[in-house]
A and B are shown apart, each in its own frame.
Chain A
Amino acid sequence: EADIYQTPRYLVIGTGKKITLECSQTMGHDKMYWYQQDPGMELHLIHYSYGVNSTEKGDLSSESTVSRIRTEHFPLTLESARPSHTSQYLCASQGLLGTDTQYFGPGTRLTVL
């Protein structure tokens, strides 16, 4: 089993609230990722990081922001949640080599009312 954790697993929140989704891994992986996925739909990369103090935007434009202050921690923040942000958010990590397995966390299912 992969040592990558996400909290909370489920979150229901009102419009306009600020939220932070937590992601931590204990594998010492430099590469970390955030994906957004609606039920039955494809994965969309929204942010990634290849190391501390390095973050990049993914293919899908997102109003969220990320930070990477510690190797093991890659939180995602929404300053003002909206119903359009309702989705599943999956965090992943990977070793440095392109052949290294990418491991996913269990996901956070976010509902914004």
Chain B
Amino acid sequence: RKEVEQDPGPFNVPEGATVAFNCTYSNSASQSFFWYRQDCRKEPKLLMSVYSSGNEDGRFTAQLNRASQYISLLIRDSKLSDSATYLCVFNSGNTPLVFGKGTRLSVIA
């Protein structure tokens, strides 16, 4: 089983739609979880950290399910500017962050 698995997409959704991405991880010792966003031909940037109790930042909600070893990202009321690749990221102790391959989202007018 790969360390981290994400559906590569692309997810093509209309403006205003709600879209959710899941990401599964294999290392049960993983401690910290993040979602990064990468625009085309740009560097990745932190979107949000994922906390055990779940957390929300505006239209974005992140959840962690340790029992099933996955994290999720929910985007409500999608905007054209949300079009990007979303990277699932985690780390285990003092090792480099593990990045997923990313899920591509296209929000269509």
Contact = CB atoms under 8 A, between A and B. Distances in A.
A107 to B, nearest CB: 6
A105 B32 contact: no
A42 B43 contact: no
A101 B37 CA distance: 13
Nearest to B97: A102
A103 B97 CA distance: 12
Chain B interface residue number, banded: 20 to 34
B31 interface: yes
A39 B41 contact: yes
Contacts, number: 39
Q: Report the contact-size class of chain A (Cβ under 8 Å from the partner).
A: 20 to 34
Contact of B101 (A42, A98, A102, A104): A42
Contacts of B42: 106-107
Interface string A64-76: 0000000000000
State the main secondary structure of chain A at its contact with B.
loop
B45 A43 contact: no
B93 A98 contact: yes
Contacts of B46: 101-103
Nearest to B90: A98
Nearest to B92: A98
A90 B43 contact: yes
Interface string B87-101: 101010110110111
Interface of B: 31-32, 34, 41-46, 49, 87, 89, 91, 93-94, 96-97, 99-102
8 contacts: A43-B99, A98-B31, A98-B32, A99-B32, A99-B49, A102-B97, A103-B46, A104-B45
